[in-house]
């Protein structure tokens, strides 16, 4: 399932990653790492996870040939339809994997952070499924921007705790979840939703999300009898993109393109940590971070709450410096155009996060005529109608 050398035993992807945490958390990270390594190899665990992924979440998801969009842009575009999963986004892949671990570890209480609310909804969902208590930290601004998801979490019996610190978005929700974990580490499992945070999270979340790329690989080989030329996905913390990319890591002919959020512009508020950030340590890992010259973390911004984060997973940082992947940016206005383009061409309303990747296809197709492109449609856009509506006004 996982790549042998990356990360290394200390949780490093090249020079990125590690475990930069307060001492209180050391023991439980070690425990989690041990349990994950042991349990994830067991046939019974794999079988159980596979069962829930297919019977409950709806895997495998289609790799859909977007005929109209392909014609419109002049490339062969396939959409990996993670938006069709239960709860409406790829987040459930990881949440199911981790909740089975939590259950195995005998934890009774689940906490999580959420930005767009998609991860929060998936955690609330799996917590309900397995009868565990669930509390979700969400930035106060996101609580306002993603009302529908807040309601969904509450219907599912989760307690949604608005976080009023800092920028009141994903980063602050994550810090608050970590503080809760530091305090309640005995009975609480922190179900982190992206390929960020201290080891083993970045690699564990990557493994659970790798089902996206593994399926896509089989599907494209069946449909096209060859590998794709490009993989395209949006990058916030980086879980849907890493899930798609990782299984193709050794296929050197396949180019990876990660699309970051340029927000209001690269010289204004944005979330483009790989493009505009510098090496730093945030929330447990060394990676690229948006920061000032004194190492204070800058406020991120994106129209897509799920990308609104000033850091990025360490494996993406590794891909960037080793040039395994290319990272580009798409701003708020372009993302809205991507949102409309897919809705109008294919009758599929994407979430604002993958709308960044969709918009980039327009640029990519110019240089990649008739090439095969797989784009990860990481979530559906119902949650974003309010935001888009405001933009149209």
181 vs 359 by CB, closer to other proteins: 181
Q: Is residue 186 near other proteins by the rule CB under 8 A?
A: yes
Q: Is residue 294 near other proteins by the rule CB under 8 A?
A: yes
Residue 322 DSSP one-character state: T
3-state secondary structure of 257: strand
Q: Is residue 342 near other proteins by the rule CB under 8 A?
A: no
Q: Is residue 295 near other proteins by the rule CB under 8 A?
A: yes
Total binding residues for other proteins by CB under 8 A?
38
Is 80 an active-site residue? no
Q: What is the footprint of other proteins within residues 63-102 (CB under 8 A)?
A: none
277 vs 306 by CB, closer to other proteins: 277
Q: Is residue 192 near other proteins by the rule CB under 8 A?
A: no
Is 113 an active-site residue? yes
Q: Which stretch binds other proteins (CB under 8 A): 80-88, 164-172, 268-276, 319-327?
A: 164-172
CB 382 within 8 A of CB 148: yes
What gap in Å lies between CA 98 and CA 36, rounded to an integer?
9
x/- mask, other proteins, residues 7-36, rule CB under 8 A, reads ---x-------xxxxxxxxxxx--------
- 140 Cβ partners below 8 Å, 6+ apart? 162, 163, 164, 168
Binding other proteins (rule: CB under 8 A), the pick from 4, 293, 323, 393 is: 293
What gap in Å lies between CA 66 and CA 77, rounded to an integer?
6
Q: Is residue 281 near other proteins by the rule CB under 8 A?
A: yes
CB of 350 to other proteins, least distance (A): 31
Catalytic member of 76, 315, 378, 383: 378
Binding other proteins (rule: CB under 8 A), the pick from 5, 296, 389, 393 is: 296
- Partners of 133 in the β-ladder: 109
CB 98 within 8 A of CB 194: no
Axis-axis angle for helices 352-367, 332-346 (nearest 10): 80
Q: Tell me what percent of the chain is helix, strand and coil, each rounded to the nearest 5.
A: 50, 20, 30
Binding other proteins (rule: CB under 8 A), the pick from 95, 175, 302, 329 is: 175
Q: Which stretch binds other proteins (CB under 8 A): 93-101, 184-192, 225-233, 259-267?
A: 184-192
Catalytic member of 33, 113, 260, 315: 113
CB 343 within 8 A of CB 275: no
CB of 18 to other proteins, least distance (A): 6
Is 5 an active-site residue? no
CB of 201 to other proteins, least distance (A): 14
Closest to 313 measured CA to CA, from 173, 189, 195? 195
What gap in Å lies between CA 331 and CA 335, rounded to an integer?
6
- 359 Cβ partners below 8 Å, 6+ apart? 259, 330, 334, 335, 337, 338, 341
In the chain, where does DSSP find H-type helix?
26-39, 43-51, 67-73, 91-104, 118-129, 140-145, 147-155, 170-183, 201-209, 211-224, 239-245, 273-276, 314-321, 332-346, 352-367, 385-392
CB of 195 to other proteins, least distance (A): 19
Q: Is residue 289 near other proteins by the rule CB under 8 A?
A: yes
What gap in Å lies between CA 308 and CA 341, rounded to an integer?
22
Catalytic member of 76, 91, 217, 383: 91
Residues with catalytic roles: 91, 113, 378
Q: Which residues bind other proteins (CB under 8 A)?
A: 10, 18-28, 165-166, 171-172, 175, 178-179, 182-186, 278-284, 289, 291, 293-297
């Amino acid at each position: 399932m996982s790549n042998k050398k990356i990360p290394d035993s200390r949780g490093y992807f090249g020079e990125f990653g590690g475990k930069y945490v307060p001492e209180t958390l050391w023991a439980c990270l070690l425990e989690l790492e041990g349990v994950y390594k042991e349990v994830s190899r067991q046939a019974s665990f794999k079988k159980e996870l596979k069962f829930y992924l297919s019977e409950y979440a709806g895997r495998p998801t289609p790799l859909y040939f977007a005929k109209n969009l392909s014609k419109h842009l002049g490339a062969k575009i396939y959409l990996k339809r993670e938006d069709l999963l239960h709860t409406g986004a790829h987040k459930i892949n990881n949440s199911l994997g981790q909740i089975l671990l939590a259950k195995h570890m005998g934890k009774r209480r689940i906490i999580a952070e959420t930005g767009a609310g998609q991860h929060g909804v998936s955690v609330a969902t799996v917590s309900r499924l397995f009868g565990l208590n669930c509390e979700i930290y969400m930035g106060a601004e996101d609580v306002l921007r993603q009302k529908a998801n807040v309601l969904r979490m509450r219907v599912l019996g989760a307690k949604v705790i608005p976080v009023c610190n800092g920028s009141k978005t994903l980063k602050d929700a994550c810090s608050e979840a970590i503080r809760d974990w530091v305090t309640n580490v005995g009975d609480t499992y922190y179900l982190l939703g992206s390929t960020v945070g201290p080891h083993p999270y970045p690699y564990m979340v990557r493994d659970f999300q790798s089902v996206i790329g593994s399926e896509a690989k089989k599907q494209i080989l069946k449909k096209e009898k060859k590998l794709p030329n490009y993989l395209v996905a949006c990058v916030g913390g980086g879980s849907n993109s890493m899930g798609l990319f990782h299984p193709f890591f050794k296929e050197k002919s396949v180019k990876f393109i990660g699309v970051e959020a340029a927000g209001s512009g690269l010289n204004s508020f944005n979330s483009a940590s790989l493009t505009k950030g510098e090496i730093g340590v945030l929330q447990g890992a060394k990676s690229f971070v948006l920061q000032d010259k004194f190492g204070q973390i800058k406020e991120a911004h994106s129209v897509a709450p799920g990308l609104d984060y000033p850091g990025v997973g360490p494996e993406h940082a590794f891909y960037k410096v080793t040039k395994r992947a290319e990272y580009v940016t798409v701003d708020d206005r372009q993302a809205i155009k991507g949102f409309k383009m897919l809705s109008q061409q294919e009758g599929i309303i994407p979430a604002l996060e993958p709308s960044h990747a969709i918009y980039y296809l327009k640029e990519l197709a110019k240089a990649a005529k008739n090439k095969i492109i797989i784009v990860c449609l990481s979530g559906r856009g119902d949650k974003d109608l309010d935001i888009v509506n405001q933009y149209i006004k």
